[in-house]
Amino acid sequence: MKTSQLQVASRKRWMRLIPLVFITYSLAYLDRANYGFGVAGGMGEDLNITAGVSSFLAALFFLGYFFFQVPGAHYAEKKSAKKLIFWSLILWGGLATLTGLATSVGWLYPIRFLLGVVESAVMPAMLVFLSHWFLKEERSRANTFLILGNPVTVLWMSILSGYLLKAFDWRWLFIIEGLPAVLWAFIWYKVVNDRPKDAKWLTPQEKNDMEAVLQAEQAALKPVKNYREAFKSRQVVILSIQYFMWSIGVYGFVMWLPSIIKQASNLDIVATGWLSSGPYLLAVIAMLALSHFSDKTLNRKTFVWAALLVGALAFFGSFMIGTTNFWLSYALLVIAGGAMYAPYGPFFAIIPEILPRNVAGGAMALINSMGALGSFVGAYFVGYLNGLTGGPGASYVFMAGSLLISAVLTLMVKKPVVTAAKSVEVVTS
């Protein structure tokens, strides 16, 4: 195999596919995470939403998100991730826009649930898509650029949403932020190919080289017959519970950070937006750093548990400080947010290294669906605890405990056996 051919193919893949993947997942995250700003910006008052109902609506998205993860991954692997994501973009953009047209709280229940259903296939389909295009030595970074759509979106969304709410109202916030997904769907469908062999922008030699390397990686894995066998694996069970606990902390934080900051600081909605972006700026830096060293060392587990432990300690430190020093407490929240996001790339690189392609997508979907249940618990109980206690202290302890358990469970995962495919020469960007 010619080294230069793989180098050229690698550069083409990173430059063409990663921006598309990043923007697509950014739009998905925009339309799920702006609910917190809608609540802080007057939606609760206009629609007479109580604190308990608001918490349930925030969490209802993740209940819908739970159901179609595995079917989505199966369709993406056997049929087409490209088509699945195309229709998901159109539907979730439309549902997000409908949120801004709701005239009563009754409309929000089906909208939030269906938004979760539509988006449920996107994450596993994207992970399957990336596994078709990127090699083992690249996968943590590729996954990270996908999931960077999460913190980067919340970073600029936090600032933009503050200004939109000040200039218009919460209705226009949802309408304006929902329409781009519908328009982007057609760009995605035009430019993306499911596999290297389908890409007209690769030469025949580059296609053959890429397919040979990917097939060699699959040959090095122990065969697994079906999803049932994969789902019974000790590794998959532990990672599912681990991701459940991790997601409690992440989505309790994402959904309620604007309200927590606004209540604690008494700042206006624009200043709240700027402060809410802080954790996500750190998250971007930390995610890039951890994914780089994870791919360089092929060590996934250490980077995951260490980051989650830092997040747990930061939450607990913020709880101990309480309301006596807002800025120090806020600084610890920034660290907690950055630490929670940092290990996503290494985490989602674990499964494709221990399971073959015929079941890896389904296993990642199962794990992600358990994360959706954790997100439901986090989004609901953090809002509930904040309303019950009149402050965020109890929810900080709740999120800290969840992250600590997640870190311990990560230590129980056996390190994947790294087997080099010697039949081909692997060259990455």
Q: What CATH number should be reported for the domain holding residue 315?
A: 1.20.1250.20
Task: Give the contacts of 346 (CB within 8 A, at least 6 positions apart).
Answer: 140, 290, 291, 294, 299, 300, 301, 303, 304
Q: Which two tokens stand for residue 66?
A: 């739970």
Task: Classify residue 63: in a domain, yes or no.
Answer: yes
- pLDDT number for residue 418: 46
Amino acid identity of residue 111, one-letter, is: I
Comparing CA positions, the residue from 319, 263, 30, 67 lying closest to residue 149 is 30
Same domain, 268 and 408: yes
Same domain, 209 and 233: no
Task: Classify residue 119: in a domain, yes or no.
Answer: yes
Residue-wise pLDDT tens digits, 235-292: 899 999 999 999 988 877 766 676 677 766 677 767 777 787 788 888 889 999 999 8
Boundary residue ending a domain (165, 186, 220): 220
Task: Classify residue 422: in a domain, yes or no.
Answer: no
* Distance separating alpha carbons of residues 131 and 128, to the nearest angstrom: 5
* Distance separating alpha carbons of residues 112 and 61, to the nearest angstrom: 5
Same domain, 234 and 136: no
- pLDDT number for residue 184: 94
Task: Classify residue 306: in a domain, yes or no.
Answer: yes
At residue 363, does pLDDT exceed 60? Answer: yes
Same domain, 214 and 230: no
In this structure, the chain runs to a length of 429
Boundary residue ending a domain (180, 195, 220): 220
- pLDDT number for residue 8: 52
Residue-wise pLDDT tens digits, 64-82: 888 778 888 888 888 899 9
Task: Classify residue 429: in a domain, yes or no.
Answer: no
Same domain, 185 and 258: no
* Distance separating alpha carbons of residues 301 and 313, to the nearest angstrom: 19
**Number of domains the chain is built from:** 2
Same domain, 110 and 187: yes
Same domain, 205 and 309: no
Task: Classify residue 102: in a domain, yes or no.
Answer: yes
82: containing domain: 1-220
Contact 36, 258 (CB under 8 A): yes
How many other C-beta atoms are found inside a 10 Å radius of the C-beta of residue 266? 10
* Distance separating alpha carbons of residues 128 and 150, to the nearest angstrom: 18
126-to-27, 112, 146, 207 alpha-carbon distances in Å: 13, 22, 8, 20
228-to-233, 237, 299, 417 alpha-carbon distances in Å: 9, 12, 27, 22
Same domain, 257 and 198: no
Same domain, 51 and 198: yes
Q: Which two tokens stand for residue 306?
A: 């260490």
Contact 43, 265 (CB under 8 A): no
Same domain, 198 and 345: no
Contact 41, 166 (CB under 8 A): no
Task: Classify residue 425: in a domain, yes or no.
Answer: no
Q: Residue 56 — very low, low, confident or very high, per pLDDT cuts 50/70/90?
A: confident
Same domain, 260 and 159: no
Which residue did the predictor score with more confidence, 254 or 125?
A: 125
Task: Classify residue 426: in a domain, yes or no.
Answer: no
- DSSP-H helix ranges across 300-412: 301-321, 326-341, 344-354, 357-389, 393-411
Q: Which two tokens stand for residue 99?
A: 């949120």
- Max distance between CA atoms of the chain, in angstroms, equals 66
Q: Residue 427 — very low, low, confident or very high, per pLDDT cuts 50/70/90?
A: very low
By three-state DSSP, how is residue 47 classified?
coil
Same domain, 95 and 165: yes
Boundary residue ending a domain (220, 240, 255): 220
